[in-house]
Amino acid sequence: MNRTLYWHSPTRRLRLLVVVALLLQALLPLTQVQIAQASTVSSAAFSGGAGTVSVSGTLYAKSGGALTLTVATSSDTKCVELTGAFTGRQTSNTAKSSWTFSFTAGTGDGVQTVTAAASPNFNANNCTGQSQSPQSASFVLDNTGPVVTATVPPAANGANWNNSNVSITISQVTTTGSGLSVSGLTVPVTLGAGQSVAGSVSFKPAAAGTISGAVSVVSNAAALNLAVSGTGVVTAPVAAITPTSIAFGNVNTGTTQTRTIAIQNNGNSSFTGIAR
């Protein structure tokens, strides 16, 4: 009876409540630590050095290219582990939030992805503790060059070169200037590299005087203009008679012998008033 009264005494109950309160106070920080120790990754990104190039936000790397992976974590992180195209693990006895990994690009082609996970602790072989929100980063391996097929229009000449890149089509040949004309050219005509066509330019003046004109060539290349000049002249009339002499020889009286003569103008102007 005295024992029962002892356990249920107000003093005993007060002491018991104090003990329970102290135990809860001691356990609460441990619970908070366990809850806080869930490390997270906020970002992961690749950057490149020699042998890499960034185009419109995408990083490309050839074999041997220098790559750097930067991982940002929560400040309680002591271990970061990588999986995927590259694997690796870094640890730190002191918690930190910034981690850097260096890699060398390998062979092959295509997108390469690495996933980073953060942890609050580690042992000899692994990251340990709660890990949340892993993040991925990627780059593109590009070890296959483009295939370029070249053509040379027109075909190279005997010296294995050609400074022309199109054929020339002549569509029209005209003249300006009195008495000028072109013959021997039939248009349209197409000329390949090294080809040519010939024609004739004639001048037939209708009167005395100097003329200035041109021969114009219309084609799909640059226009061509050939300056032409000439002078029409008048030559004085030149009279000639054939034969140059006549010998009748012996002719019987009372009879007639006849010979024919020809008078010719060898000039280019007329003459009149020849007496017979």
Domains recognised in the chain with CATH numbers? 36-141 (2.60.40), 168-192+200-228 (no CATH)
The region of weakest confidence among 8-22, 149-163, 208-222 is 149-163
- C-alpha 15/C-alpha 69 separation (Å) is 58
Q: Does pTM surpass 0.85?
A: no
Q: List pLDDT tens digits, range 35-61.
A: 446 899 999 999 999 999 999 999 999
Mean pLDDT of all residues in 72-84 = 95
Q: Does residue 34 surpass a pLDDT of 50?
A: no
Mean pLDDT of all residues in 205-224 = 84
Q: Does residue 189 surpass a pLDDT of 80?
A: yes
Res 33: pLDDT: 46
Sorting pLDDT into bands at 50, 70 and 90, what band is 190?
A: confident
Instruction: Spell out the long-range contacts of 131-136 with Cβ–Cβ below 8 A and sequence spacing 24 or more.
Output: 131/38, 131/39, 131/40, 132/38, 132/39, 132/40, 133/40, 133/41, 133/42, 134/41, 135/41, 135/42, 135/43, 135/44, 135/71, 136/44, 136/84
Between these two residues, 214 and 147, which has the higher pLDDT value?
214
